[in-house]
Chains A and B, each alone.
Chain A
């Protein structure tokens, strides 16, 4: 990728050891390109990301279709080193480059009815081979959403790069969400649509298996996935003979910044 210029955001970054670049770009869940971990690295080059535009809709005063450059132009890039905890019980530490989600959303001037924000990934079976599969249980396009106060939290991030370079296609080029206190599937990739809405959006995984994947999907060792424990995680790269197990932290260790968003909520119920 092309080198990006950015300022580090040490206050929002972890000092833990980073997952090597080669692992970050070859071990991905991006089901538009297949369910294998190496499928995205193999097939994401079939997607074209330039030019790219995002449709902004719903409860805001500046709806419209924006070219990606126009969305990004007024902002300076930051580097934030975040933990990424996958719902499958593995995790990475990734230096993302991008912009604060709140700063971008505010420019569309959401109105008082905007209680939630909805995101959508590109849907183009010609470029995304797994969208052509007859046996997929996903009803494309991939859809995600956040409550407005979650989206406005300072940790919520839009990444356009990692390791100082343009983000590779398998990691969600040209622009993806990064919500570090939630399971990875909330961090939707290759975003083409943003909609502000009053009612809570249904999200892709919630529609497929509501018992397994909730709307909130906050990292929480106290709430097991029905098929496996969430108490621990394998920090990648993990060795065969020396598996790198670590204890999973509530809100992926970002409780200081986000726990107040869920005050009074039963997180066993709103998982």
Chain B
């Protein structure tokens, strides 16, 4: 039985990566399909903005699941899709912000929106944390930054926490969904802390 590990076969890895790419694109494909098929209800701008925001948050969580999955399954394939998931999260977050500006704010009174409303400030901060991560996601940048790359990319921890705050600040009454997401964030961060003596949770700090 020894010798052939199907998880290492190039065909399997390719199928795995392609499936991940398709699954991550589903939220967008569903939005497009619903737009053309059934319409998105009487307030489509709101529906689109919300769906894109939730997709961004879910992709961020998925990205953070890859390292734990690799540790538990001892299979490196998870890390081969991590960058793609992270870039999807960035992509959805960027679309979410564009949709918010176009459909909800209508490019009107922007200064007030971004200075007076704490939940919007939180959303903007969560997004800005992702920008340097997206920019430094190429192989060349990973090589060039060396150990600094890992430290820089701990910004994702800050981003996901602030994104969650952005999310729960919008709750009007029932926080059940937000509490569930919060638990997932907590578990994902606690795992990192547990594995490496807590200090690695602090963005940009040297180990």
How many angstroms from the CA of A137 to the CA of B46 in the assembled complex? 23
User: A127 interface residue, CB < 8 Å from B?
Assistant: no
B119 and A227 contact, CB distance less than 8 A: yes
B170 within 8 A of A: yes
Contact yes or no, B103 A228, CB < 8 A: no
- Which of A19, A138, A228 gathers the greatest number of chain B CB atoms within 10 Å? A228
Contact partners of A43 in chain B: CB under 8 A: none
Q: Which residues of A contact B41 (CB under 8 A)?
A: 23, 26-27, 37-38
B152 interfacial by beta-carbon distance below 8 Å:
no
How far is it, in angstroms, between the C-alpha of A250 and the C-alpha of B171 when the chains are bound? Answer: 26
Contacts of A137 in B (CB 8 A): 171, 173-175
Q: Is A265 in contact with chain B by the CB < 8 A criterion? A: no
In the bound complex, what is the Cα–Cα distance between A19 and B104 (angstroms)? Answer: 19
Return chain B residues, CB-CB under 8 Å to A240. 35, 40, 44-45, 48, 103
- The interface on chain A, measured as residues whose beta carbon lies within 8 A of the other chain's beta carbons, has a size of 33
A183 contacts the other chain (Cβ, under 8 Å)?
Answer: no
Stretch at the interface among A55-63, A106-114, A230-238: A230-238
Do the beta carbons of A239 and B44 come within 8 Å of each other?
yes
**In the bound complex, what is the Cα–Cα distance between A227 and B166 (angstroms)?**
11
Q: Quick one: CB contact mask for A216-260 with B, threshold 8 Å, 1 for yes?
A: 000000001011110110101111100101000000000000000
Out of B108, B117, B119, B174, name the residue touching A31 (CB < 8 Å): B174
B106 touches A245 (CB 8 A): yes
Q: How many residues of B are in contact with the other chain, CB < 8 A?
A: 30
Instruction: Check if B103 sits within 8 Å of A231, measured CB to CB.
Output: no
CA A229 to CA B109, docked complex, whole Å: 9
* Contact call B173/A136, Cβ cutoff below 8 A: yes
* A238-B174 contact, Cβ under 8 Å, with A229-B109, A232-B106, A232-B108: no
Residues of B within 8 A of A179 (CB): none
Could you write out 12 A-B pairs with CB less than 8 Å apart?
A: A27-B42, A38-B41, A136-B174, A136-B175, A137-B174, A224-B112, A227-B170, A229-B109, A231-B108, A232-B108, A234-B46, A237-B42
Residue numbers of A with Cβ under 8 A of B are 19, 23, 26-27, 31, 34-35, 37-38, 90, 130, 133-138, 208, 224, 226-229, 231-232, 234, 236-240, 243, 245
Given A31-B174, A90-B43, 11 additional A-B pairs, CB 8 A: A27-B43, A130-B174, A136-B176, A138-B174, A224-B116, A226-B117, A229-B108, A236-B43, A237-B42, A240-B103, A245-B108
